[in-house]
Amino acid sequence: MDEREALHLCQAGDKNAFAVLVRQYQTQVLGLCLRMTGNREDAADVAQQTFVQAFRHLVQYDPDQPFRPWLFRIATNECVNFLRRHKRAPLPADSETLEAVSDPADGAPALVDLAEDRERVRTAVAQLPLQYRQVVVAYYFQELSYQEIARQTGLPIGTVGTLLHRAKQQLRKLLTEAEVNQGEAHRVRTDAAVPGR
Amino acid sequence: MKHIEFELMQRFLAGEADLAEQDTVAEHLACCDQCAALLAQVTADDAALAGALRFDDDEMQWLASVDLTGPVLQNIRPWYQEGASLAVGLLVLAPALWLLNWVVSMITASVVTDTPVGSTLEFLKGLIAALWELNLYLGRGGLLVTIWPALALAAALWLFYAYSKKEDRSNA
């Protein structure tokens, strides 16, 4: 059964045909949820809820439009709702703080040097405010264009570029802080290990 | 010389700059080593970020091991079950509202209204009375008129649901 046929049957209320769509998209939806929530258990819950909501709203889906962006818009909304409900959505840093971190043009550290530790980058992404996290995940992980991001998130296309720019500034700030903290922890460990100091 | 703004550079790299902007950036890059170096750095930054967010082997294994089909299908409720839940909700809400109205009336009758507690209760009573009026208006005439169609709808939908469950079981 192909996607179009499955969609047609689902719109008529066939639950079993929906299983075909779940199997086809579950890895991609789970991946997006994992990057947005930063946690496997939460990602599985949100992905499951995404499919349930998708089935419930299939009547509103226009079969002439591609299914994937429609499904991913639901997934993004579900992630945002989940993170808001669980208060895991920090507010954006004010522009003064971000300006202090500045751009590489003004001598700020390069992300390429700070992003060597993948786990640290993922932690930093999970600490980003919601809108920043949405665009970072959509642009760098899903590799979407600005227009596709705008469609998926419901943001104006002009805002996507600005948010991405600010998100990178805040990521740079978070990664720099993480590096400083790690450096200090290392120094404390070294001091403690040297007798007589 | 005026250098390229960082945000424009980002848009240029993403292929989102318009034609005029692309020309400006390309012309500037041809004669500015500083911006060319910055462009190379931003490209490397972007590649590093994309690389860090890509799945590693452990995540790939986890993603391959998860099957959401069962839990999703279990959580999908047919429309008639949703409708039945709504009808049951209405059934519970109408008498609950009536009971609350009665309880608050009893309390306010025994509390002096010029105290803070009294005035709050008076306000609550007004609110509940307004909701009750709305219920009557929607029910076009009273509690029974609201309840019986809802009860009949709930019963019909549950019967339909029970029948379809039985069909599912016999098909399985």
Q: Measured between beta carbons, which residues in chain A are less than 8 angstroms from residue B68?
A: 22, 26, 30, 44, 47-48, 51
Give the one of B3, B10, B67 whose C-beta lies nearest to A161's C-beta.
Answer: B10
Q: Does B80 lie in the same domain as B51?
A: no
Structure confidence by residue, pLDDT tens digits, A143-191: 999 889 998 888 898 889 889 888 888 888 888 887 777 666 666 666 6
Among the candidates B21, B39, B65, a domain finishes at: B65
Question: Among A19-23, A42-46, A129-133, B96-100, which stretch is predicted with the lowest mean pLDDT?
Answer: B96-100
Asked if A130 contacts A80 with a C-beta cutoff of 8 angstroms, the reply is yes
Give the one of B16, B54, B68 whose C-beta lies nearest to A48's C-beta.
Answer: B68
Question: Domain spans of chain A?
Answer: 3-85, 95-193
Q: Is the pLDDT of residue B138 over 70?
A: no
Q: Please enumerate in sequence order all residues whose Cβ is within 8 A of that of A148, keeping only pairs 6 or more positions apart, or say none.
A: A69, A138
Say whether B50 and A105 touch across the interface (CB within 8 A): no
B96 confidence band (pLDDT: 50, 70, 90): confident
Asked if B21 contacts B8 with a C-beta cutoff of 8 angstroms, the reply is yes
Q: Does B92 lie in the same domain as B61?
A: no
Mean pLDDT of B123-142: 68
Q: Does B35 lie in the same domain as B101?
A: no
Among the candidates B65, B96, B116, a domain finishes at: B65
Q: Does B78 lie in the same domain as B149?
A: yes
Q: Does B143 lie in the same domain as B107?
A: yes
Q: Please enumerate in sequence order all residues whose Cβ is within 8 A of that of A118, keeping only pairs 6 or more positions apart, or say none.
A: B51, B52, B56
Q: Which of residues 45-84 of B touch A (CB under 8 A)?
A: 45-56, 59, 62-64, 66-69, 71-73, 75-76, 78-79
The structure's pTM equals 0.69
For residue B82, give its domain range. 72-171
- The dihedral built from the CA positions of residue A118, A119, A120 and A126, taken in this order, carries a sign that is positive
E strand map for chain A: none
| Residue-level pLDDT at A54 | 93
Q: Does B164 lie in the same domain as B92?
A: yes
Q: Measured between beta carbons, which residues in chain A are less than 8 angstroms from residue B15?
A: 145
Q: Does B50 lie in the same domain as B122?
A: no
What are the backbone dihedrals phi and psi of residue B22, each rounded to the nearest 5 degrees, phi first? -60, -45
| Residue-level pLDDT at A190 | 67
Q: Does B93 lie in the same domain as B61?
A: no
| Residue-level pLDDT at B106 | 72
Q: Does A17 touch chain B (CB under 8 A)?
A: no
- Distance, CA of B28 to chain centre: 47
Mean pLDDT over the full length of chain A: 82
- Which has the closest alpha carbon to A22: B172, B81, B74? B74
In a domain, B1, yes or no: no
Among the candidates B65, B83, B114, a domain finishes at: B65
Q: Measured between beta carbons, which residues in chain B are less than 8 angstroms from residue A35?
A: 53
| Residue-level pLDDT at A108 | 60
Q: Does B118 lie in the same domain as B35?
A: no
Q: Is the pLDDT of residue A31 over 90?
A: yes
A194 confidence band (pLDDT: 50, 70, 90): low
In a domain, B146, yes or no: yes
Distance CA A50, CA A149 (A): 18
Q: Measured between beta carbons, which residues in chain B are less than 8 angstroms from residue A118?
A: 51-52, 56
Q: Is the pLDDT of residue A117 over 80?
A: no
Say whether A115 and B52 touch across the interface (CB within 8 A): yes
Structure confidence by residue, pLDDT tens digits, B105-122: 776 666 655 677 777 777
What distances in angstroms separate CA A49 from CA A14, A42, A56, one per listed residue?
A: 18, 11, 10
Q: Does B86 lie in the same domain as B59?
A: no
Distance CA A179, CA A114 (A): 8
Q: What is the DSSP string of B34-87?
A: HHHHHHHHHHHHHHHHHHHHS--HHHHHHHHH---HHHHHHH---HHHHHHHHH
Say whether A115 and B51 touch across the interface (CB within 8 A): yes
CATH number for A95-193: choose from 3.30.450.20, 2.130.10.30, 1.10.12.10, 1.10.10.10: 1.10.10.10
Q: Does B83 lie in the same domain as B53?
A: no
Say whether A104 and B6 touch across the interface (CB within 8 A): yes
What are the percentages of helix, strand and coil residues in chain A, rounded to 5? 75, 0, 25
In a domain, B134, yes or no: yes
Q: Name the token pair of B73.
A: 């299908």
CATH topology of domain A3-85: Rna Polymerase Sigma Factor; Chain: A (1.10.1740)
State ipTM. Answer: 0.76
Q: Cβ-count burial of A17 within 10 angstroms (0-12 exposed, 13-18 middle, 19+ buried)?
A: middle
Q: Measured between beta carbons, which residues in chain B are less than 8 angstroms from residue A111?
A: 45, 48-49
| Angle at the Cα of A174 from the Cα atoms of A170 and A175, rounded to 5 degrees | 115
Q: How close does chain A come to B50, measured CA to CA in Å?
A: 5
Q: Is the pLDDT of residue A80 over 80?
A: yes
Domain count, chain B: 2
Say whether A19 and B69 touch across the interface (CB within 8 A): yes
- Distance, CA of B35 to chain centre: 45
Q: How close does chain B come to A125, measured CA to CA in Å?
A: 9
